Amino acid sequence: MKNLAKHLKRILGKEKVFHTPEDCLCYSYDGTFKTGIPGVVVRPSSTEEVAAVVKLASQEGIPVVPRGAGTGLSGGAVPLEGSLVIDLTAMNRIVKIDPAEMLAVVEPGVITAHLHKKVENMGLFYPPDPSSANVSTIGGNIAECAGGPRGLKYGVTRDYVLGLEVVLAGGEVIQCGGETIKNVSGYDLCGLFVGSEGTLGIITRANLRLLPKPQARQTIRADFKTIEGAAGTITAIIGAGVIPAALELMDDVTIRCVENFLRTGLPLDVEAILLMEVDGPAVSLPGQVRTIAALCRQHGAARVKVAETEAEGVELWRARKAVSPAVVQVKPTKISEDATVPRKNIPAMIRGIKEIARKHNLVIAIFGHAGDGNLHPNILVDKSNPEEMERAEAAIEEMFRLALSLGGTLSGEHGIGLLKAPFLEMEFGRAGVAVMRRIKEALDPPGILNPGKIFGGISS
Amino acid sequence: MNDDVGAAKYQINRCSKCGSCREVCPVFSEMGGEPWVARARVQLANAAIEGQLGFSRRFKEIMESCLLCKACVTHCPNGVRVDKLVLWARQEAVRKQGLPFIKKSILRNVLRYNHRLELFARVLAAYRATGLRLSKREGLLLPARTAPFGRLAHIKKLEKPSLLVAYFTGCMTRYVYHQTGQAVLDVLEKNNVQVVLPGQYCCGMPALAAGDSQTVRELARRNVESIMKAGVDYIITDCATCGEMLKNYGEMFPEDTVRDFSNRVQDISFFLVHTIGTLPKTGELPLVVTYHDPCHLKRGQGIWSEPRKILAGIPGLSLKEMAESDRCCGSAGSFGLTHYDLSMKILRRKIENIRATGAQAVVTGCPSCRLQIEYGLKEEGIFIPVMHTVDLLSQVYGPANASLSLPSVCQRQELVAPTANN
């Protein structure tokens, strides 16, 4: 490892290579409870440097783990012991924003919220908004195909990637896609790399599609006595041709946690709260809001609140934004899952999760992006209690089975990473996973790129 | 104190490693690498407790590069007390390996003795008077006075005072910002509050930050003993850092007298707004100012609306808020000297935020921040004064209808250019 560090220093300069035990420990984790201590860490500042590092790693047969902000929730950036971590956050330039082409060209280390702010100041809009957007990087968002509340109306990261520059396992640099919306030349390699979790190549630049920034937005909150009432409302709203920019659900456990934390007067006698936001031209809002409010009442909403001012909107959102700090007041560790089902099956999913919680004697707060079926059951545990962690793991497996039986998927937006790797065959069968494996082997014959992720098989 | 491994483990266990601290840590935003962010310091502390890592040079380097500004603590969804973990790590390092010679000499042989501190200040003052500049860092050395404030101050005996308070002057006011000390005395006198100046020592924050719990204990003991003898209703300070430290004595040394002492400590702005209420003003100050929230005041003591209320009550004065008003200025006690380049990078952002307001003066509630910001403004060629909230307030208690101009409220007039920068 010392020798490798010496080589790396020759390539990058010594200020970009770190290999003390202390530095390596600081790169041993992401947003999950998994850890693995790398052997050396580099912080390159250009595609050429990344390519040179990967080339050296492939010659030496050293596993390479690319990393953004390390906020992932599936273990995608947790290093294999002794591997080489490439921290891409020093490559954080927004290369250009072209309003005429509605295009942003960025390096992978750009922080998602910085891009949001920059383009919104120009009247443009980059919709993907994972809840970690204030710190997460575009590179990490692409590698995990991040989503967020706006997914229902605007789609996910995949829908905004027009082109990529990728460093392959041997150190070669390729371009995929391009700068145009339409591009059907050859295979869709861009689509292949989005969500590939660093197992196929390392993204060093991205061309992102932008939209015009919506002129106005308005928030509505509705409280429901039953989950079924809330779920019926969701399908009715979408059936009526209104697509909210956000459609968030909080279940009774979540509501209680938030109310205990904020004391803002949330109803404690309801099973669900829906928080909805519509956006678009200002003239279109009143109509959208009227339709939604009417449908909420038709489906038995106990209360419907429409924010008349921006401040009222912020107040309504405050409860949703407080969920993370609120739930950890119960137990210090939250395991956030993101199994996703077709939206018509949300009631069955929620009832099923509650049954699992009862069976394993766990507190599970359910909230999330109900509009696209992407719920976040958060298991509240204490990681220092191994017995409780065991029950949590059993519950997670049952939740996965439940989601799949309801026509859903293991992961809506967090990725498979390390945590869900053992279950991938449950979703796609042996043959389905074998196809993915063959793709991996074709692009990364030595198997040095983020080993163990998606496919598992390597304990970290 | 922080030597409780159990307490440290409790904090560590609460960290979910979500990485939110990456958004707010001033040190991390300059350094960029993961080791420099709060989340990493938590994991390093954990590794030290588990015996996975020793207190190596790199370990200490990372722990020592924390400003203790608590930006991460307030921002953390789980409220992890990263500051306490960092202090724990520093203290453990000292306990295991001892203090480095220079730190030890200053903390144990100067800080604990007022006459030595005074001598130190005099030597500094004399050195500065020679005009010698051996290093660019000197701008951050105290522009020390030759005599401590307490010896020069004249306190009037009030006939029927409403309250009796002890004024804890703090080293910065004692040796540097005498005018702020005078302003505190004036304002309290006008409000019919009797002030006494009992014997007092350094609050101990420099020792705490250096991990020297032995000196902290000694200084706390001396301060509590001396001040409690005076039998006062409250203990007032104009220094955000001293205020936070004195309030923390009670938690660090949970004895009844010490708790009682800590409960009586109030920052001057809090005291004026909540405990006595300020008097009607007679003067007017037609100024546009901006306010810098000291870490130890806003996050350390929850005081941020009080100074703004005082400013809002000053006739003619308007407050133009700067962006990130509560972001650390990079001073953090001796951090500016030990981590000069990093401190300057953090300061530059503060100065840019100040410049963008176009304010005619900067107001703050901490003498350390004041010294740092004065230095930063001077380096950038921005000639506007930096003042304590109380400096401004004392001006409008003056004779009726006195309209004051900028230079007359500015303590260090040499900083004011002939044409005030707008």
pLDDT in tens, B336-371: 888 999 999 999 999 999 999 999 999 999 999 999
Q: Is there a single domain that holds both residue A246 and residue A279?
A: yes
Asked if residue A139 belongs to a domain, the reply is yes
Query: Does the distance separating the beta carbons of B14 and A132 come in below 8 Å?
Result: no
The last residue of one of the domains, among A295, A323, A351, is: A323
In a domain, A455, yes or no: no
Are A75 and A121 contained in the same domain? Answer: no
At position A301, the amino acid (one-letter code) is: A
pLDDT for residue A393 is more than 70: yes
Please name every residue paired with A273 in a beta bridge, in sequence order, or none if there are none. A223, A250
Confidence band (pLDDT; 50, 70, 90) for B419?
very low
Q: Count of domains in chain A? A: 4
Position A459 pLDDT exceeds 60: no
Chain length of chain A: 460
Q: Are residues A81 and A105 in the same domain?
A: no
**Dihedral of the CA atoms A125, A131, A133, A139 (nearest 10)?**
-100
pLDDT of B219 above 50: yes
Residue A306 belongs to domain with CATH number = 3.30.70.2190
- Please give the pLDDT value at position B406: 53
What distance in Å separates residue A277's CA from the closest CA in chain B? 24
| Mutation choice for A interface testing from B29, B34, B43, B59 by most A CBs within 10 A | B34
Least confident range from A248-252, B188-192, B396-400: namely B396-400
Q: Is the pLDDT of residue A117 over 90?
A: yes
Q: Give the ipTM.
A: 0.94
pLDDT, chain A, mean: 95
Instruction: Indicate if the pLDDT at residue B407 is higher than 90.
Output: no
Task: Compute the average pLDDT of residues A253-275.
Answer: 94
Confidence of residue B169 (pLDDT cuts 50, 70, 90): very high
pLDDT digits (tens, 9 = 90+) for B17-76: 999 999 999 999 999 999 999 999 999 999 999 999 999 999 999 999 999 999 999 999
**CB distance B158 to B194 below 8 Å:** yes
Question: Under 8 Å CB-to-CB from B31, ≥6 apart: which residues?
Answer: B65, B342
Q: What is the predicted pLDDT for the residue at B34?
A: 98
- Which two tokens mark B253? 């040394």
Within a domain: A454 = no
CA distance B7 to B4: 5
Contacts (Cβ under 8 Å, ≥6 apart) of B20? A132, A134, A135, B75, B76, B77
Return the percentage of chain A with pLDDT > 70, whole number.
99
Residue B391 pLDDT exceeds 60: yes
> B311, B269 in Cβ contact below 8 A?
no
* Out of A60-74, A182-196, A236-250, B387-401, least confident range: B387-401
Residue A119 shares a structural domain with residue A71: no
- Residue B83: which pLDDT band, with cuts at 50, 70 and 90? very high
**pLDDT, tens only, A321-337:** 889 889 988 888 889 99
Please check the confidence at residue B10 and state whether its pLDDT lies above 80: yes
Does A258 fall in a domain? yes
Q: Which of B22, B77, B78 lies closest to A69 in CB terms?
A: B22
In a shared domain, residues A197 and A97? yes
Q: From A136, which residue of chain B is nearest by alpha-carbon distance? A: B19
Cβ atoms < 10 Å from Cβ of B152? 11
Dihedrals phi, psi of A41, to nearest 5 degrees: -125, 135
Give the rounded percent of residues in chain B with a pLDDT score beyond 90: 72
Q: Does domain B149-275 have CATH number 1.10.357?
A: no
Q: Is residue A69 part of a domain?
A: yes
> Residues B372-381: pLDDT tens digits?
999 999 999 9
Name the minimum distance, in Å, from the CA of B46 to any CA of chain A. Answer: 11
Contact B52 A25 (CB under 8 A): yes
- Shared domain for A305 and A341, answered yes or no, is no
Confidence of residue B411 (pLDDT cuts 50, 70, 90): very low
B35, A332: Cβ pair inside 8 Å?
Answer: no
Distance from CA of B40 to the nearest CA of A (A): 5
Separation between Cα atoms, residue B154 and residue B136, nearest integer Å: 37
Q: Which pLDDT belongs to residue A313?
A: 93
Domain ends where: A212, A244, A260? A212
Span A37-71, pLDDT tens digits = 999 999 999 999 999 999 999 999 999 999 999 99
Q: Are residues A195 and A103 part of one domain?
A: yes
* pLDDT of A72 strictly over 50: yes
Ranges of each domain in chain B: 5-97, 149-275, 280-415
The residues of B whose Cβ lies within 8 A of any Cβ of A are: 13-14, 16-20, 22-23, 32-35, 40, 43-44, 47, 52-53, 56, 58-59, 62, 77-79
d(CA A420, CA A401): 12
Q: Which two tokens stand for residue B355?
A: 């410049």
- Same CATH fold assignment for domains B149-275 and B280-415: yes
Q: Give the mean model confidence (pLDDT) for residues B222-235.
A: 96
For residue B32, list chain A residues with Cβ-Cβ distance below 8 A: 43, 89-90
pLDDT-based confidence at B140, cuts 50/70/90?
low
Where residue A18 sits, what CATH number does that domain have?
A: 3.30.43.10
Nearest CB neighbour to A328, from listed B19, B32, B77: B77
Q: Which residues of A touch B62 (CB under 8 A)?
A: 22, 26
Name which of A131-140, B277-286, B335-344, B392-401 the model is least confident about.
Answer: B392-401
The stretch B138-150 carries a mean pLDDT of 72
Answer yes or no: is A457 within a domain.
no
> Dihedral through CA A111, CA A115, CA A118, CA A124, nearest 10?
-170
Contact assignment for B22 to A43 by CB distance below 8 Å: no
Identity of the residue in B22, B35, B78 whose CB atom sits nearest the CB atom of A26: B35
Residues of B in contact with A380 (CB under 8 A): none
Question: What are the tens digits of pLDDT across the range B98-137?
Answer: 988 888 888 888 888 888 888 877 787 777 777 666 676 6
B16 to chain A: closest CA residue: A333
Task: Say if residue A221 is in the same domain as residue A208.
Answer: no
Same domain, A130 and A37: no
**Residue found under tokens 């938590």:** B42
**Residue A68 shares a structural domain with residue A122:** no
pLDDT of A192 reads 98
Are A325 and B18 a contacting pair at CB < 8 A? no
pLDDT score at A54: 98
Given this model, what pLDDT does residue B118 score? Answer: 81
Over 90: is that where the pLDDT of B414 sits?
A: no
- Position B334 scores a pLDDT of 83
CATH 3.40.190 assigned to B280-415: no
Closest approach of chain B CAs to the CA of A293, in angstroms? Answer: 32
Which residues of A fall within a CB distance of 8 Å from B44? Answer: 22, 25-26
Hey, how many other C-beta atoms are within 10 angstroms of the C-beta on A209? 18
Q: What is the DSSP letter of B130?
A: T
CATH number of the domain that residue A170 is part of? 3.30.465.10
Domain that holds residue A126: 92-212
Nearest chain A alpha carbon to B41: A26
Three-state SS annotation for chain A: CHHHHHHHHHHHCHHHEECCHHHHHCCCECCCCCECCCCEEECCCCHHHHHHHHHHHHHHCCCEEEECCCCCCCCCCCCCCCCEEEEHHHCCCEEEEECCCCEEEECCCCEHHHHHHHHHHCCEECCCCCCCCCCCEHHHHHHHCCCCCCHHHHCCHHHHEEEEEEECCCCCEEEEECCCCCCCCCCCHHHHHCCCCCCCCEEEEEEEECEECCCEEEEEEEEECCHHHHHHHHHHHHHCCCCCCEEEEEEHHHHHHHHHHHCCCCCCCCCEEEEEEEEECHHHHHHHHHHHHHHHHHCCEEEEEECCCHHHHHHHHHHHHCHHHHHCCCCCEEEECCCECCHHHHHHHHHHHHHHHHHCCCEEEEEEEHHHCEEEEEEEECCCCHHHHHHHHHHHHHHHHHHHHCCCECCCCCCCCCCCHHHHHHHHHHHHHHHHHHHHHHHCCCCCECCCCCCCCCCC
pLDDT at B137: 67
* Per-residue confidence (pLDDT) for residue B420, from 0 to 100: 36
User: In this predicted structure, what is the pLDDT of residue B421?
Assistant: 38
Chain B residues close to A20, C-beta within 8 Å: 56, 58
Contact B267, B297 (CB under 8 A): yes
Query: Same domain for A63 and A99?
Result: no
User: A–B: how many Cβ contacts below 8 A?
Assistant: 84
Whether A426 is covered by a domain: the verdict is no
CATH number of the domain at A363, please. Answer: 3.30.70.2740
B403 pLDDT higher than 50:
no
Q: Are A85 and A38 in contact (CB under 8 A)?
A: yes
Please name the member of B17, B34, B44 whose beta carbon is closest to the beta carbon of A31.
B17
Domain B5-97, CATH 3.30.70.1400 — does that match? no
- Closest partner residue to B18 (CB to CB) among A27, A71, A383 is A71
- Which chain A residue has the Cα nearest residue B48? A22
Answer yes or no: is A417 within a domain: no
